[in-house]
């Protein structure tokens, strides 16, 4: 068993590679990454319109997602299977580019 930094971090002290592989949905999710990015964009706009995030943060994250869409379309974005699914891959990308406060 190896230590991991994933969504089960607070539940299990350790996780096995086999369990992560079983729970991962990367192979299915990769087919819907562009749609998932669009959902993230819509969610950001809703949060902004409700006054839950400011204009600067919204713009920064939308810009990150736009760049990510271009990378996906160009085949230059590789999903990390250690992150289990497309949603966590997108979140990790935003954190890397815009900072943890935005991810």
* pLDDT at residue number 30: 76
* pLDDT at residue number 8: 53
* pLDDT at residue number 64: 97
- Could you say which of 1.25.40.10, 2.40.110.10, 1.10.10.10, 1.10.275.10 is the CATH number of the domain covering 25-98? 1.10.275.10
Token pair 């891959």 is at which residue?
Answer: 89
So where are the chain's domains?
A: 25-98
Per-residue pLDDT tens digits for 31-88: 889 999 999 999 999 999 999 999 999 999 999 999 999 999 999 999 988 887 898 9
Indicate the pTM of the whole model: 0.72
Counted residue by residue, the chain has a size of 103
How is residue 30 written in tokens? 């990769």
* pLDDT at residue number 1: 40
Residue of higher predicted confidence among 1 and 27: 27
């Amino acid at each position: 068993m190896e230590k991991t930094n994933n969504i089960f971090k607070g539940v299990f002290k350790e996780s096995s590679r086999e369990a992560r592989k079983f729970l991962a949905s990367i192979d299915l999710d990769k087919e819907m990454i562009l749609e998932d990015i669009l959902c993230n964009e819509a969610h950001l706009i809703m949060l902004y319109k409700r006054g839950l995030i400011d204009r600067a943060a919204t713009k920064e994250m939308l810009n990150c997602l736009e760049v990510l869409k271009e990378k996906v379309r160009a085949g230059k974005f590789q999903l990390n299977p250690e992150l289990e699914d497309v949603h966590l891959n997108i979140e990790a990308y935003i954190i890397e580019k815009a900072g943890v406060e935005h991810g």
